[in-house]
Structure 1
């Protein structure tokens, strides 16, 4: 599970950086009102969403460790959390580091 977890962590870090950059160049409050500080809440909302997804990854790894390092493919919590990570990886299917069908739906 750690391979998919590391893949997702890297993608979420990229998304954090993109959110901040896009906000800096695209927020109407900054561009039209000339504000240096903006309170539109958009970057914070995106980062909060990414933090929630990272918390899921952390729980999946804790669950896997508690199960002796092996996901239980016959059922149970580790299997359910692995499934969640596979779902979280779907939006990144075109990324060169994505494992394709191995991580597919």
Structure 2
């Protein structure tokens, strides 16, 4: 299984803190994909306060505004964190994708990284550390 992932929302400031504990050495590929996406979500979260609508002119002393763009980005990051948290690696397969049969007779789990994790990573396909580029596929 890959590392434990969590996030917290500081309602007073409206910020989301994304953290991931390192996994054991048995799943390095899974950690690479999850760590890559986690790092991009952290970057996006940090950018939230500096991104405003073009017409935004109401910036308060505390750095907040009325355009809604920073709040929208924070919600986007929180949603993507939830999606990623549901798709964890377990014995080379995704915990959420496919059908797991403990007997092994009808086990149709999707290999990790699953289509959902790959789709999340596509948001950052041009990034030089994208796992497909590091693995020579991109």
Relative to the length of structure 2, the TM-score reads 0.54
Quote the residue 2:117 is aligned against. 85
> Structure 2: which 5+ residue stretches go unaligned?
1-29, 100-108
Q: Report the RMSD for the aligned CA atoms in angstroms.
A: 2.9
Do the aligned partners of residues 12 and 104 (structure 1) sit closer, same or farther apart at CA in structure 2, a change above 3 Å counting?
A: farther
Contact preservation (8 Å) 2:45, 2:77 = yes
For 2:39 and 2:136, locate their aligned partners in 1 and report how far apart those are by CA, in whole Å. 16
- Displacement of 1:84: 0.7
- Higher normalized contact order (CA 8 Å, seq sep 6+, divided by chain length): 1
Contact preservation (8 Å) 2:98, 2:110 = yes
Matched residue pairs, number?
92
Which structure has greater helix proportion?
1
Is 1:76 aligned with 2:105?
Answer: no
Do the aligned partners of residues 92 and 99 (structure 1) sit closer, same or farther apart at CA in structure 2, a change above 3 Å counting?
A: same
Which structure has greater strand proportion?
2
